[in-house]
């Protein structure tokens, strides 16, 4: 499967989580592109079979959490994602509130089928994502 992973990372945590995700998916034989969403070409990203968009969690730590403006703007610039799968993910410290559902709704509004929503408390990827990667089958 052709997979695109883009992220908005302020201090590197979300970028590290995205890199770990790509490693897991590549070990299963999928082909991944990985990079910051700033400067990524939304039309190229939309060509993937599975589009993964990640944001760091912005808010007041216990309330008013939301995805970054850049990540929501990027999603709004993606092409038609009908027939494509999508994953949304974030990193956080305390709480994520409605962040993931908001990103998922925005991806669904582009026509994607959202197959996963993951939050990582730091740069490491948890077992839930490993199971998800297995559920996709082998890429080759």
Ligand X SMILES: Cc1cc2nc3c(=O)[nH]c(=O)nc-3n(C[C@H](O)[C@H](O)[C@H](O)COP(=O)(O)O)c2cc1C
Here's the x/- map for ligand X, 90-109, by CB under 6 A: it reads as -xxxxx--------------
Task: Establish if 38 lies at the interface with ligand X (CB under 6 A).
Answer: no
Number of H helices, E strands in the chain: 5, 5
Long-range contacts of 122-125 (CB under 8 A, 24+ apart): 122/13, 122/17, 122/91, 123/12, 123/13, 123/16, 123/17, 123/20, 123/91, 124/17, 124/20, 125/17, 125/20, 125/21, 125/24
Nearer to ligand X, 20 or 108 (CB): 20
Distance of closest approach, residue 92 Cβ to ligand X, in angstroms: 3
Task: Establish if 68 lies at the interface with ligand X (CB under 6 A).
Answer: no
Spatial CA neighbour of 12 closest among 53, 56, 45, 52: 56
Nearer to ligand X, 94 or 105 (CB): 94
**Which of these ranges, 6-14, 28-36, 39-47, 106-114, lies near ligand X under the rule CB under 6 A?**
6-14
Nearer to ligand X, 33 or 98 (CB): 98
d(CA 124, CA 62): 22
Distance of closest approach, residue 16 Cβ to ligand X, in angstroms: 8
Task: Establish if 71 lies at the interface with ligand X (CB under 6 A).
Answer: no
**Residue of the chain from 3, 56, 67, 74 that contacts ligand X (CB under 6 A):** 56
Nearer to ligand X, 34 or 81 (CB): 34
d(CA 81, CA 96): 25
């Amino acid at each position: 499967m052709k997979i695109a992973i883009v992220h908005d990372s302020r201090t590197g945590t979300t970028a590290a989580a995205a890199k770990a995700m790509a490693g897991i998916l590549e070990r299963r034989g999928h082909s991944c592109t990985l990079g910051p969403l700033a400067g990524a070409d939304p039309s190229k990203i939309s060509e993937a079979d599975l589009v993964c968009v990640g944001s760091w969690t912005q808010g007041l730590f216990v309330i008013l959490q939301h995805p970054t403006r850049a990540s929501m703007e990027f999603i709004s610039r993606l092409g038609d994602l009908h027939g494509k799968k999508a994953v949304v993910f974030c990193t956080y410290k305390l709480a994520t509130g409605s962040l993931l559902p908001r990103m998922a709704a925005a991806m669904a509004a582009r026509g994607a089928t959202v197959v996963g929503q993951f939050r990582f408390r730091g740069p490491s990827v948890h077992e839930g994502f490993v199971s998800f990667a297995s559920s996709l089958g082998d890429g080759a």
